[in-house]
Amino acid sequence: MKNLLLGMTIICFALCASSRRVPAQTPTSTARVATGQPTSGPDDNARHFEGVIVSKNGQLFVLRDDANNTWYHLDDQQAAGKHLGKKVVVIGTLDARTDVIRVQKIDETT
């Protein structure tokens, strides 16, 4: 029963988060990173995403980008959990269909 409830909670959270995703209208100085800056490294399609790592249930961590009113799911939950509540830059590739960032690196910002 607990597993079913947890599964339903995660699905509801995912649906709510994806419905809040809105594309940025125009780049602004405050949204400098969320527009995606190419990086050099193993994946030439990698971008920078800036925001805060948040969690409602302590088990599912997402990147909240307040500048663009966007939430992104992160595929590396273990790395994301280490930065809970912190402002970070996530380097990775975005699967726009699912709003999941394939994390390559997470760095805290000041």
Q: pTM (2 decimals)? A: 0.61
Q: What is the mean pLDDT of the chain?
A: 75
pLDDT in tens, 3-14: 554 555 565 455
At residue 91, the pLDDT reads 98
Q: Residue 88: which domain range? A: 2-21+32-108
* Number of separate domains in the chain: 1
For the domain that residue 63 is a member of, what is the CATH number?
2.40.50
Q: Which residues of 7-46 are buried (b: 16+ CB within 10 A; e: fewer)?
A: eeeeeebbeebeeeeeeeeeeeeebebbbeeebeeeeeeb
What are the phi and psi torsion angles at 49 (to 5°)? -125, 125
Report if residue 59 sits inside a domain.
yes
Do 80 and 91 meet the contact criterion of CB atoms below 8 Å apart?
A: no
Residue 73 domain-assigned? yes
User: Which burial class, exposed, middle or buried, applies to 54 when counting CB atoms under 10 A from its CB (0-12, 13-18, 19+)?
Assistant: middle
The verdict on residue 26 lying in a domain is no
Q: Is residue 58 part of a domain?
A: yes
What's the average pLDDT block by block, 10 residues per block, for the chain (110 residues)?
54 50 36 40 80 92 95 96 97 93 95
Give residue 13's pLDDT: 53
